[in-house]
Structure 1
Amino acid sequence: MDIKLTKNDKRYIQNTDDVYSIMQRVLLRENKIDQEKEHFWIIGMNLRGYILYIELIALGTYKAVNIEPMNVFRVAVMKNASRVIIVHNHPSGSLTPSEDDKDTTDRLIQVARILNIELTDHLIITPRSYISFRTIRLMEELEQSLKYVPPYQVVERIRKEEKQIAKEQLAVEKSKTKAEREKREKLMRATVTALLDKGVPTEDIAKILEITPIAVERLINKTE
């Protein structure tokens, strides 16, 4: 969901205080019930820090919010964003990053690299304060992580496929039809086949495509 800025909101991001100032107001505009749920937003910018869009990627529960890494960057690709900042809130009031928060950021860093988009920072916010992964040097630590680095051989293919997905996304309706689901499955099967031909293990294919190993096996069986 696209988040509209008010006339009082800054359009340029110069530091983390600017990000928090904007996102604090966005959070407080929510009704009290939704304020008690975790939100996951992404801010897309150009190289100079001008805000191109703010998108609510997912709305979760009191304790968690689930996101798909490739969907986080879909709008960024469509709108040619050079830099992005991810933001999510903790209704509990705690600003301590959870292991899931770190894991999600690690995954998104790898996807951003493949797409040549700079993931600048990750902020955890509450109505009263915030913490920046970059400021506490957690971002630097995760940028050096090898946990979710995909095999070198498939990086270029993922980049090309994501561009193709973005083009298709612009041409289709918001609601997914049966034909669209079949088309996506066909693309997934083709991707799995190409990765298998390159000798990529099933477990790595599952990580790259963000699906379970069982789902990969089903796609393999359908191609036979």
Structure 2
Amino acid sequence: MNVKITDKDKISVTNPDDLYEIMRRILLRDNKIDREKEHFWMIGLNMANIILYIELVSMGSVKSTQVEPMNVFRVAVLKGATSVIALHNHPSGSLTPSEEDKDATDRLIQVGRILDIKLTDHLIITTEKYMSFLNTGLMAQLEKSLKYVPPYLIEQRIVEIKKKQEQELKKEKQKTDKFKETTIINLLKKKMTIEEIASILNTSSKEVEKISKKL
């Protein structure tokens, strides 16, 4: 269910404080009975981090609410959001994320990756305060999780990591070779013999001789 927001609320989200003030007001709109139930909202953002929409995905009991990842991203896809923020309240007043909260966030991160819509944060709020998964380091921790990553994506990541490592090693070797070549050329200009240079640099005479031909 889309939550009615004013143009004033369509701000550029630069930190969780800005978002909390809006969501606190939205939570306080509910009557007391509904306010004491868990709500789960999704906030869609454009490329400039400006709020496109706020959607109430589900409202459950005092202790929990159900979240289906595909429902969470449905509006994001339809409205062209490039990133989203998850947010839910804890009627108990505690800001400590449960294992279920972490698990749901882990799932949403992976679904977001598949859809190319980044989940940037997850806030837990009460009418008085909030906690941010991003600010506490939980987002970074969950982004490394492989719990809900499909096996083919794990293999793909391994291939990408190996490829990156190979590219870095190749660049490092090129730098080393270039440095060695420059050093050999400088020593040759100082009239050192090929054998002396090979001994100093712990390299072969053939390599030094090959480089000497460039002079």
TM-based fold match above 0.5 = yes
Identity %: 65
- Equivalent residue for 1:98? 98
Task: Specify the SS of the correspondent of 2:43.
Answer: strand
Q: Provide structure 2 residue ranges, at least 5 long, that are not aligned to the other structure.
A: 154-215
* Distance in 2 of aligned mates of 1:79 and 1:129: 30
* Distance in 1 of aligned mates of 2:77 and 2:7: 26
Structure 1 runs of 4+ off > 6 angstroms? none
* Distance in 1 of aligned mates of 2:67 and 2:39: 10
1:8 to partner: Cα distance: 4.7
* Distance in 1 of aligned mates of 2:123 and 2:74: 20
Q: Deviations over 1:155-189 (max 9, x none)?
A: xxxxxxxxxxxxxxxxxxxxxxxxxxxxxxxxxxx
RMSD of Structure 2 on Structure 1 (CA): 1.4
Determine if contact 2:9/2:51 at 8 Å carries over to the other structure. no
Q: Provide structure 1 residue ranges, at least 5 long, that are not aligned to the other structure.
A: 154-224
Considering only CA atoms, is the larger Rg found in Structure 1 or Structure 2?
Answer: 2
| Richer in helix (by share) | 2
- Equivalent residue for 1:57? 57
- Equivalent residue for 1:48? 48
Q: TM-score, normalised by structure 1?
A: 0.67
- Equivalent residue for 1:33? 33
- Equivalent residue for 1:128? 128
- Equivalent residue for 1:114? 114
Determine if contact 1:10/1:22 at 8 Å carries over to the other structure. no
1:10 to partner: Cα distance: 4.7
**Aligned in 2, Cα 1:10/1:71: closer, same or farther, shift over 3 Å?**
closer
Q: Deviations over 1:89-121 (max 9, x none)?
A: 000000000000000000000000000011000
Determine if contact 1:10/1:18 at 8 Å carries over to the other structure. no
**For residue 53 of structure 1, what is the amino acid of its counterpart?**
Y
Size of the alignment, in residue pairs?
A: 154
* Distance in 2 of aligned mates of 1:104 and 1:75: 18
Determine if contact 2:2/2:56 at 8 Å carries over to the other structure. yes
1:150 to partner: Cα distance: 1.3
- Equivalent residue for 2:140? 140
- Equivalent residue for 1:179? none
**For residue 70 of structure 2, what is the amino acid of its counterpart?**
M
- How is 1:73-88 mapped onto 2 (pairs within 5 angstroms)? 73-88=73-88
* Distance in 1 of aligned mates of 2:88 and 2:48: 23
1:9 to partner: Cα distance: 2.9
Q: TM-score, normalised by structure 2?
A: 0.69
